[in-house]
Amino acid sequence: MRSTLSAFLALMLLPSFALAQKAAAIKSADETANELWPTALKIWEWAEPGYQETKSAAALADAATKAGLTVKRGVAGIPTAFVAEFGSGKPVIGILGEYDALPELSQETDPFRKPREIGNGYGHACGHHLFGTASLSAAVAIAGQIKAGTIHGTVRFYGCPAEEGGAAKAFMTRAGLFDDCDTVLHWHPNSRNLAGDQSCLARVAAKFRFHGTAAHAAASPEKGRSALDALELTCHASELLREHCPDFTRIHHIITSGGGAPNVVPEFAEGFFYVRHPKADILQTLYPRLVKCAQGGALATETKLEIDYLGGTMEILPNNTLSQVAKANLTKLNDLAYDAEERKFAIRLQETITDKVTLDTLGQVSDVSGKVGMGSTDVGDVSWVVPTTGFSTSCWVPGTPAHSWQAVACGGTTIGKKGMKLAARTLAATAWDLFTDPKLVAAAKEEHTRRLDGRKYTPMIGKDQKPPLDYRNPPKRKAAAE
């Protein structure tokens, strides 16, 4: 009788005890994020380009090592990629982190345009300094719970470089780094709190380089063959191509090199192009058409075309099972509110943006289930091999566009810090749910299999293609092959 009563009491006490353990994990993630805020600020200050995040990756890897995680650096042939893990056995729950910055968006922490006088011109306009730090904070918190014996399994943090156009996760996925994961979690800074089984656009990237013949642009222009003319024709052709593409196609480019002086016929020019579409299989039919635009430009100008295919990323394969768990945790944990100084900063910053959103949205979580975001991410590749979900927290003043100086400014302030800490708590809470509920993991896997519908993951990078470690470097002016 006594043993039966004891078992009954233990069963009745289990939910509250489990909730207390989950609360401890959440608190630990919040405290770790607070401790790592100086690291986030250092990464914000360094603002390193994709595949060149030497200091940023080392700072996070060192922090993981200090916290007791086992770290393997330079994975998948990428010097700035690493994996840090703790525990053993199943389940294996992965948490993604990023840390690359964007060019031409250097900015001080001021609510008006003021580029930093020091640095390389890059800025964290997508908040990846917050992304990597919050994700590591959650992983460290979960590792602490595994060490304490309150949960069992393996937590794994993935240090992922070059998300902005470098497709590092595609190379990491191809290398099999996610093959034994049961689920993977990620998040992203935003100007709103978002959750749901949202997808994104698949993307391919390529650089078209044209090699012509230099000549005096006034004295002997007939002797020149302009590489810039070839590139301009390619750009024009790509604009015309837009009209004849499926709905939701995006094509955009920049000219990275177009000559050195007006009186010299340019012998070299380079353009950097993206093509996007919600479906990778459709995208793979569009890229060859863009190549024809470049081939036409070369043919018309009697120049030589060199193509540097940088690879592509898949659309995200959604997982509603996981997204609802993340949404529930984000909604419950959301306590975002600005103090007087932050409100003053926000109101001043909003004078510089067109989409003036009320600050009341800080307390809301918008459901983006079933939608397709107009951005791209190499998280998509991960989602095709393991059930994956993510969410966004408000790290920027409401209405702030991503990839803007305003986002950089917010990310270096306590506004960014608060969003980062909310993300760390939400990741830890969601991971806790997955570690403690095997049926949840099983349901996520079943949904993943169902959504694949027999399809196999086929990366949009070549079988033997190397990571484009120099894609952020100045254009190459090597001679074209005959």
Q: Are residues 169 and 297 in the same domain?
A: no
Q: What is the mean pLDDT of residues 36-54?
A: 98
- Distance between CA 451 and CA 186 in Å, rounded? 19
Reported as a single tens digit per residue, the pLDDT across 424-480 is: 999 999 999 999 999 999 999 999 999 999 999 999 998 899 999 999 999 877 654
Q: Is residue 126 part of a domain?
A: yes
**Do 65 and 184 have their domain in common?**
yes
The pair of three-digit structure tokens given for residue 210, joined into one six-digit string: 């044209």
Model confidence at 329, in pLDDT bands (50, 70, 90)? very high
Within a domain: 458: no
Residues 326 and 418 in one domain: yes
Closest CA to 150 of 432, 444, 446: 432
Domain membership of residue 442 (yes or no) is yes
pLDDT in tens, 345-358: 999 999 999 888 99
Give pTM, 2 decimals.
0.94
Residue 469 counted as domain residue? no
272 shares a domain with 347: no
Tally the domains of the chain: 2
- Mean pLDDT score across all residues of the chain: 94
159 shares its domain with 253: no
DSSP string, 347-414: HHHHTT-S----GGGGG--EE-TT-B-SS--THHHHHTTS-EE-EEEE-S-TTPPSSSHHHHHHHTSH
Residue 5 is assigned to a structural domain of this protein: no
- The answer to whether residues 302 and 411 belong to one domain is no
Q: Which residues contact 93 (CB under 8 A, 6 or more apart)?
A: 142, 153, 154, 155, 156, 181, 182, 183, 184, 185, 431, 434, 435
pLDDT grade, residue 481 (50/70/90)? very low
pLDDT higher than threshold 50 for residue 5: no
Domain that holds residue 395: 11-200+315-452
pLDDT value of residue 478: 63
Are 28 and 154 within one domain? yes
Q: Among 283, 266, 32, 261, which Cα is nearest to 143's? A: 32
Q: Are 206 and 84 part of one and the same domain? A: no
**Domain final residue, candidates 289, 313, 337:** 313
Q: pLDDT at position 479, please?
A: 54
Percent of the chain with pLDDT over 90: 92
- Say yes or no: 399 and 386 in one domain: yes
- Rounded to an integer, the average pLDDT of 79-95 is 98
* Residue 296 sits in the same domain as residue 345: no
Q: What is the pLDDT of residues 175-218, one digit of tens each?
A: 999 999 999 999 999 999 999 999 999 999 999 999 999 999 99
**Length of the chain (residues):** 482
**133 pLDDT more than 80:** yes
* Residue 209: predicted pLDDT: 98
- Residue in the structure block whose two tokens are 């595994």: 146
Whether residue 68 is found in the same domain as residue 143: yes
Q: What is the pLDDT at residue 11?
A: 41
